[in-house]
Amino acid sequence: MCSLCQENAFPCLLLCYLLLVLLGGVVFMVVEQPVEKELQAAVEELHRSFLRENPCVKESRLRELLAKALSAHHRGVAVLKADAEESGYDFSSSLYFAIATLATMGKK
């Protein structure tokens, strides 16, 4: 390999990698953004219709309930009764967590 090719290989690969990442980001945004907006509109409509059909429920209390449910869901806690049968900390999940934790710890 010529010395000119060796000198320019890393910057060229870095540039190609950055272009690939940028292109991937644009494609992902174009594909996913309309779906996200549609889902967001559907959830907002569901929220409004729930409050219309249940006038005894205060909007602030509903938002508080939803915030707590989403927080629990993000932490892996089953929010719905149907999902509560399975524990998020069975042996295989706990073993995977222990291995991943040990594998990512490094020396200073």
pLDDT tens-place string over residues 36-95: 999 999 999 999 999 999 999 999 999 999 999 999 888 878 777 655 566 666 777 778
Query: Does residue 98 form part of some domain?
Result: no
- Give the confidence band of 20 by pLDDT, cuts at 50, 70, 90: very high
* CB 78, CB 86: distance < 8 Å: yes
Query: Does residue 25 form part of some domain?
Result: yes
**Structure tokens given for 24:** 């991937």
* CB 15, CB 21: distance < 8 Å: no
Q: Into how many domains does the chain fold? A: 1
pLDDT of residue 33: 92
Query: Does residue 75 form part of some domain?
Result: no
- Residues spanned by the domain of 12: 3-57
Query: In whole angstroms, what is the distance from residue 92 CA to residue 98 CA?
Result: 10
pLDDT of residue 74: 85
pLDDT of residue 55: 93
| In the predicted structure, residue 98 carries a pLDDT above the cut 60 | yes
Query: Does residue 19 form part of some domain?
Result: yes
Query: Does residue 53 form part of some domain?
Result: yes
* CB 77, CB 65: distance < 8 Å: no
**Structure tokens given for 21:** 């990442």
